[in-house]
Structure 1
Amino acid sequence: MKRAFDFVVAALGLVLLMPAMLIIGYLVSRSSPGGALFVQARVGRSEKPFDCYKFRTMAHGAPVAGSHEVAASWVTPIGKRLRSLKLDELPQLLNVLRGEMSLVGPRPCLPNQAEVIAARRARNVFAIRPGITGIAQLAAIDMSTPEKLAEADSRYMHSRSFLGDLRIIAATVLGGGGGDALKG
């Protein structure tokens, strides 16, 4: 049921939000050099790598690192706004449609985040698809605290439910959570 719900919501979301996504893409590409989309390898279900899509929020050429490892100065002015409204995540609806992600689940980490991978592996978190949002994100737990993150991910994995996912989605849409922290 979760996969069917994810598929339907992602398909409808892409159709209904396409005009807004086109405007965001245009604004991103006009605001700084580089394309509108940012494609980055992430670790998915069963530790299988996949290309994760986001609107680009950092300057072209920014280092490949977790948000908490990158200086805030790398984030473009429009990128700051997109991040605060979580609009940079909208292209991930394509990842959900393709079955690489879910609407709700652990946030996908980078392949070079060995501590996060090890902590999640120890708790079997890779048994489920990563998500666009999740309980860790709502609790402002990011990749900088791998054990705490994996613990929250595991808690979600063992208590997940359809109604719980709806609550997490609603809380995210209503502005809950802070996303990944940036370095000064």
Structure 2
Amino acid sequence: MYQKYVKRMVDIILSLFALIFLLPVLIVIALLIRFKIGSPVLFVQTRPGLNEKLFKMYKFRTMTNEQDATGQLLPDELRLTRFGKLLRATSLDELPELFNILIGDMSFVGPRPLLVQYLDLYNLRQKKRHKVRPGLTGYAQVSGRNSLSWTERFERDIEYVENISWLLDLKIIFMTVYKVFKQEGITSEDSATMKPFEGNFDE
């Protein structure tokens, strides 16, 4: 009952109140991004959601569009600005996803939505992560976020899907607040974000 009815209702109510309450913060961050990084202020990318349905995910922009001599974007670590690092460290870059939650693309808690190109790389077990709405935060995030290996990350996601409950959601939300204040697991050891997933076809 919780997963089918209550969870979605809570998402709608909380995301609506959060968007109203945080509107001044959203405006200030947008203006700072426009001044420090440039336009557009939002990073919009297609991601797979519930049942692998594609949707547009919204985040605040944290990187520039700097290119090399051949016109290719520079590596993430070179385009990630100091202000962008601050937004990521505090998770403020994730705030626009509240709109995704309100319209039903996402939930407050669930496996984080990954890249579309990874869809063909998942094995059957890993595909289970798409049986629920992706989340603003999730079990993998509070267990290490980008510092986890892909194997560990998927196992946390699947563990959540198989054991979803209001108590687990509440636990993950409280752990998320703690992790944000501690600023843990923001990056992997040798990347500005997370190493690309190259596939694991073991069943």
Q: Structure 1-normalised TM-score? A: 0.86
Number of equivalences = 176
**TM-score scaled to structure 2, two decimals?**
0.78
Residue 136 (structure 1) aligned to one of 131, 137, 140: 140
In the alignment, which residue of structure 2 is the partner of 1:60?
Answer: 65
1:37 and 1:130 map into 2 onto residues whose CA distance is 19
Aligned to 1:66: none
Gaps of 5+ in 1: 63-69
In structure 2, the partner of 1:103 is 108
- What's the counterpart of residue 185 of structure 2? 178
Residue 65 of structure 1 is matched in structure 2 by none
Mapped partners of 1:134, 1:122: distance in 2: 15
- Structure 2 SS opposite 1:107: coil
Deviation at 1:183, TM superposition (A): 1.4
**Deviations along 1:153-176, whole A, 9 cap, x unmatched?**
010111121122112112212335
Question: What residue is the counterpart of 1:39 in the other structure?
Answer: 44
Q: 1:180 to 1:5 in 2, by over 3 A?
A: farther
Q: Report the counterpart of residue 98 of structure 2 in structure 1.
A: 93
- C-alpha distance in 2 between matches for 1:77 and 1:126: 33
C-alpha distance in 2 between matches for 1:151 and 1:123? 11
**Cα shift readout 1:115-134 (whole Å, capped 9, x = no counterpart):** 7x514764522110000101
Judge conservation of contact 2:37–2:63 (CA < 8 Å) in 1. Answer: no
Find 2:158's aligned residue among 154, 157, 167.
154
The one-letter code sitting in structure 2 at the alignment partner of 1:40 is Q
> % of aligned pairs identical?
37
Q: Is 1:71 paired with 2:79?
A: no
Instruction: State the shift of 1:180 in Å.
Output: 4.5
Give ranges in structure 2 of 5+ residues lacking alignment: 1-5, 68-74, 193-203
CA gap 1:38/1:105 in 2 versus in 1, 3 angstroms: same
Question: 2:199 is matched with which residue?
Answer: none
